[in-house]
Amino acid sequence: MSSHRAALQLRCTKHGCLAAIPIIIVGCGASAMPPASTAASAKHALIAAPCAGTPANPEASGSGYARVFIQAAQVVSSDLHHPLGSWLAEHPVTTPSVASFIGAGDVPTTVPWTHCLDAACDSSEPWKLTVTPALPVRASEPVLLTLQLQRDQETAGRTQSKTLETRNQQPVVVNLDGPAEESVLSLVVTPYLIGDDEDLHRLAECRSRSAALTSHRLSQASSSRAPSDRNRSRSSAPNDSGDSPTHAARPGT
């Protein structure tokens, strides 16, 4: 018997991902999960944005929550604030690579991952990211995520595994092993527990608001810089007599 699942679909371009849009997927079991959305380009964005009231039911029926929405983002390490807390919810950071997908409890979910080697992602490698979540019965309880990062089979088979303990909507920074040049980037993973299809719709709305807020704040920052840029241009421009404004002609010369 088929079941209806609500899923999140992100439309991505080389400039990043647009707002999430809820769609309905028809299928059975874990195979009904939608493909991951990925983006790889240096851009500023709000990540780990909270979504109030999700999940709507603070306690799942049966053995626990069945699904979790996961956001994994490579972030320029110098952008991060310590302690992290809720700081990311208010401060856009440079995110050269982001993957967002839905996973099922105790089921490994593998998605393609663009592993950036520098802040601008001018150099990258094709990897695969596998996440196996252990989901709680109550939303207030810990969420366990087993992560495995592995180079694509076409490249050398370097693999890293990490087990993370966090909570619903709480981002966690993953320390990856690698060359010194890769230390400029950190991996931030945020889980969002899903109780039912309405939770998915709320997540879609939250991510849409987050994208709009990011755009507004970046626009404000750009506008605030513009007057100072114009002032610098005026101060460096020659005056009508051809003299530099900082070297006025002396009287009698």
pLDDT digit string, tens, across residues 10-44: 433 333 333 333 332 222 333 333 445 555 555 88
pLDDT at 211 over 70: yes
Domain residues for 137?
A: 36-194
96: in domain: yes
Is the Cβ–Cβ distance between 65 and 144 less than 8 Å? no
99: in domain: yes
168: in domain: yes
User: In Å, how far are 54, 93, 209 from 134, measured between CA atoms?
Assistant: 18, 28, 29
Instruction: Report how many domains make up the chain.
Output: 1
pLDDT value for 102: 96
- 230: phi then psi, degrees, rounded to nearest 5: -65, -40
Rounded Cα–Cα distance for residues 50 and 171 (Å): 10
208: in domain: no
pLDDT at 205 over 60: yes
pTM comes to 0.72
**How does pLDDT run across 45-96, given as a tens digit for each residue?**
889 989 999 999 999 988 899 999 999 999 999 999 888 878 898 888 999 9
**How does pLDDT run across 160-176, given as a tens digit for each residue?**
899 999 999 999 999 77
Rounded Cα–Cα distance for residues 203 and 99 (Å): 15
Is the previous residue joined to 126 through a cis bond, with omega within 30 degrees of 0?
no
Residues β-bridged to residue 109: 131
